[in-house]
Structure formats: structure tokens, C-alpha cells
Structure 1
Amino acid sequence: MEDSASPHWGMVIDLAKCVGCDSCTVACKAENRTPPGVSYNVVLEQEAGTYPNMRIEVLPRPCMQCENPPCVAVCPVQATYRGEDGIVVIDADRCIGCKYCIAACPYGARSADEGESYAGEMQAADQVVVPEYGVDRGVRGKYRATYGTVRKCTFCAHRIVEGEAPACCETCIGDARYFGDLADPASKVARMAASPRAFRLKEELGTQPSVYYLR
């Protein structure tokens, strides 16, 4: 059970303000130094309406940080777990890369680190490593501590401990992302999450996401 004094970090994304610029995706990759093929934050697009009255609808999709995460239940080595602060994390030292959690996640929010690198496109690409979860790790496998593991969004946990918001929130040009403590009824995110405009993805699955959207 969570400590009553612990925060429950959550995010609210206002779809009426999101312009689909992908600045969140770029900021996330720059902050977390994710390799090719691995993006913690993506912006999904789909066409809506009927011709000639058509439009593009966008849906930013970080990890939902579920209160009842299916990914945790299927991990055979308990490498992924939900912390007291509500963030679902992965212990890269325990992860064996079986990818069961990728298959179990109904939101497609997990990626496998297969060892790809930007070294061929950018000088010294692998010489700067941003520690995930605020923990420095040595080289594993080819060159990266997360090689052969599964990776995901953690709301930039290493930034949270420094009192900073996730990189995607700080760079959102439409001011569409809000981050804070859902356990505090007076917080802006808690009040927004309780709004009649608020909804969560695939609520019928019982995953209880910590990411809310505003219609």
C-alpha cells in the first residue's frame, strides 16, 4: 500500500491545446538519450470526419503509469514495478529482455533496447549517458547499460527528484501538458483530472492510468 504521505504523480493533457508539433517527442529523446527506435513519448495521429470536412486529431501518448499495470503482473523476474509515488519503473539490472511486458501493455508504451545507436550519424553519440531513475550504471553488452532491456517513460523520474517537471511538460509550446500530485486534491492536476472534460484511455481494462486527457 502506498504511504499516505507519498505523492501520486500524474499528468493531464489538454487535447484542445495540443497542436501536434511533436516537441514533446523531441524533448523526451534529448533528455533521456533514447536510441533509434525507442521513443517514450509519441504523438499519434488519425483522420476524423468525412470528406470534405476532415481534420487530423492528435493524441500524445506517454506511459500511462497505471495503478494496476498489466506489465508488472507478467514480468517473470520482477524487474518492473510500481513505486510508492505511482511511477512504474524498470530495474535494468534485473530485466532479461523477454519482452513479455511489451506484449502486455495495452498502450504500446514500452520499447526494447536492441543496441541501436546514433553513432553513425552524430559524433560522440554514445559518450554522453543520461542516468535513468537517477542511477549511474556501467556498460552492459555492447556499450549501454540498458542494452538488451525494455525501456519506457518514467515521467523523467531523475528530474522529479530535482524538483523539475518532465521534459515534455516544460517544452510543450501549446501549454497542453500539466504535471503534479494527483493525491493532493488542491493541486492543479487533481482538479483537472476531476473535470467533466477528463477521460482516460481504455478505462474499461481496469488499468487505472495516471494520465488523464481533457476533451
Structure 2
Amino acid sequence: MSRSLPPSSPAAVVQAGKRTFLQELVGLATAFGFACAATPAMAGFQPPRRPGMEGKRFGMLVDLRKCIGCQACTVSCSVENQPPIGQFRTTVLQYEINKDDGSAPAMVSLPRLCNHCEEPPCVPVCPVQATFQRTDGIVLVDNERCVGCGYCVQACPYDARFINHETQTADKCTFCEHRLEAGLLPACVESCVGGARVIGDLNDQGSEINRRMAEHKEDLKVLKPGMNTAPRVYYIGLPDAFVNGVDGQASVRLLSDH
């Protein structure tokens, strides 16, 4: 039999505080849910198969000097695209780099996502042509064709793909193409508190991404350039230890998966 507490008792105050917190949390979750319900990328599905925006070539610039590793991009991407719990289309991985001089290791926060390569190795290995590249360079997956064989997951040198636990098809970052087509920014770009991510049209010489890339031309780097995939995700401030790969290097240690 339950017993009510006096309104002024410390326990009653704590319970009231908890109720208020939970009510606010539910309200936020409901608001996010309604926002997500309006997006075509709902429930972890890739967007419908359709041509890209004619004349454009999208790319992303990540300024590591501004990334604080807060994971706001990871959370906003999950809210927007709703991949299964524990799977992520983008995340910020924390690395430790050993220094040759014996001093304390350097800590690096490295945002990871699909590089939407000019020469994506995931496309030719797909036996059913489910993975394709749009005219604007965005690489997507046709869920209706994908058989979940995982060939594209193995072919990606950036560890940017996974088999969705719910759809049993390949899943990955889409640059939030449904938002781009509506004139909005990708969720990860919009939520970045440090302004570390910039997306834009590489074919537009006056775009912000091209302006910033021109300003930091000497410091621009991409991951694994030797793979000849011509990635369209560029980094400013990327340590040399990461350029030719971040996997299996003795000097670079991944601290945790997420």
C-alpha cells in the first residue's frame, strides 16, 4: 500500500523535481520525434533513389582546431536519421598519439563519416547496384535493392559503413541530402557548437567551403590519400600520423569506439 509524503518533506521535493525533469525530457523527446517523423530518412532508411542536384558537387570541411569532441554531431545525426541504438552514421573518435620525445601523449578528437569520394570503392563492388553516386557526388544506398551482403562495408577504407541491425541493409552518412534539398544544413553541421564543420558546393568558387579551403590551402588534408578515392571530406589541422590511415598504427591509439 503506497503512502503519500508530506508536501514539504525533502523526499517529496526530490520526487517533484524528478517528475518535472522527466516531464521536460519527455516533451523534448516528443518534439524531436515529431521533427524526425517529417524526414524521409526516418527509421534508419536511406533516402529514395533519385538524381542529385544538377551542377553541384557537395563536400565537407572539418576544422579540427575547432572540434571539442562534444559529440553534438553524433547525437543530432542520430536524432535526425534514427539509426539503431549503438550504430552511428557519424561520430567523433578520441585518439591518443605517442610522441617521439617521450612527453605526454597528444589527445585528438577526429570526426569520422562517409567521405563521399569522387571514386567511391563501395559502388563497383555492389552486386545489385544498390550503392550509387548521385550527380552531385553524394553516395547513397538503395534499401530496396540492397541485400545486406556487406561487400561495400568491407570495401570502404574509412570504416564509414555498417549493416543496419533493423533494416539488414547497408547504412551510412548521406550528408543529410534531404535537408540539403530543402535548403537546410546537415544535422551535424547545424549542431556543431564550435563551427568545426562546413558543407557546401565545391563547384561554386564563391561558396564558404571553397573560401575557407583557399585560406588554408597549405594545411588541407584528407584521410588515406593513397587509396586514390579522392575523398570529398577535407580536414584542417589533421596530424600527419592520421593522413595515411588511423588503423593499425603503433603511434596512434583509439581510446574507445564512441
Query: What is the TM-score of this pair, normalised by structure 2?
Result: 0.68
Greater gyration radius: 2
The partner residue of 1:152 within 165, 172, 181 is 172
The partner residue of 2:80 within 7, 23, 31 is 31
Residue aligning to 1:183: 203
Q: Describe the SS at the equivalent of 1:74.
A: coil
The partner residue of 1:203 within 217, 225, 231 is 225
Q: Describe the SS at the equivalent of 1:70.
A: coil
The partner residue of 2:136 within 85, 93, 97 is 85
Q: What is the CA distance between 1:6 and its match in structure 2?
A: 1.4
Q: What is the CA distance between 1:64 and its match in structure 2?
A: 0.2
Contact 2:54 2:135 in 1 (8 A): no
* Shift in CA distance, 158/4, structure 1 to aligned 2, threshold 3 Å: closer
Q: What is the CA distance between 1:39 and its match in structure 2?
A: 0.3
Structure 1 stretches (4+) deviating beyond 3 angstroms? 2-5, 49-52
Q: What is the CA distance between 1:175 and its match in structure 2?
A: 0.8
Instruction: Show CA shifts across 1:52-107 (max 9, x none).
Output: 53331011011100010000010000001110011001100000000000000000
Name stretches of at least 5 consecutive residues in structure 2 with no aligned partner. Answer: 1-50, 238-258
Measure the CA separation in 1 of the matches of 2:52 and 2:61.
Answer: 23
The partner residue of 1:72 within 123, 138, 142 is 123
Code of the aligned partner of 2:227: L
Higher strand share: 1
Name stretches of at least 5 consecutive residues in structure 1 with no aligned partner. Answer: 116-146
Larger RCO, structures 1/2 (Cα 8 Å, 6+ apart): 1
Measure the CA separation in 2 of the matches of 1:104 and 1:193.
Answer: 28
Q: What is the CA distance between 1:204 and its match in structure 2?
A: 1.1
Code of the aligned partner of 2:181: V
- After superposition, residues 134-173 of structure 1 pair within 5 angstroms as 147-173=167-193
Q: What is the CA distance between 1:3 and its match in structure 2?
A: 9.7
Q: What is the CA distance between 1:45 and its match in structure 2?
A: 1.4
Contact 1:192 1:198 in 2 (8 A): no
RMSD of aligned residue pairs (Cα, Å): 1.8
Code of the aligned partner of 1:74: V
- 1:212 aligns to 2:247 (yes or no): no
Residue aligning to 1:121: none
Residue aligning to 2:96: 47
Measure the CA separation in 2 of the matches of 1:86 and 1:185.
Answer: 17
Higher helix share: 2
Query: What is the TM-score of this pair, normalised by structure 1?
Result: 0.81
Q: When the two structures are aligned, how many residues end up with a matched partner?
A: 183
Identity across aligned pairs (percent)?
A: 46
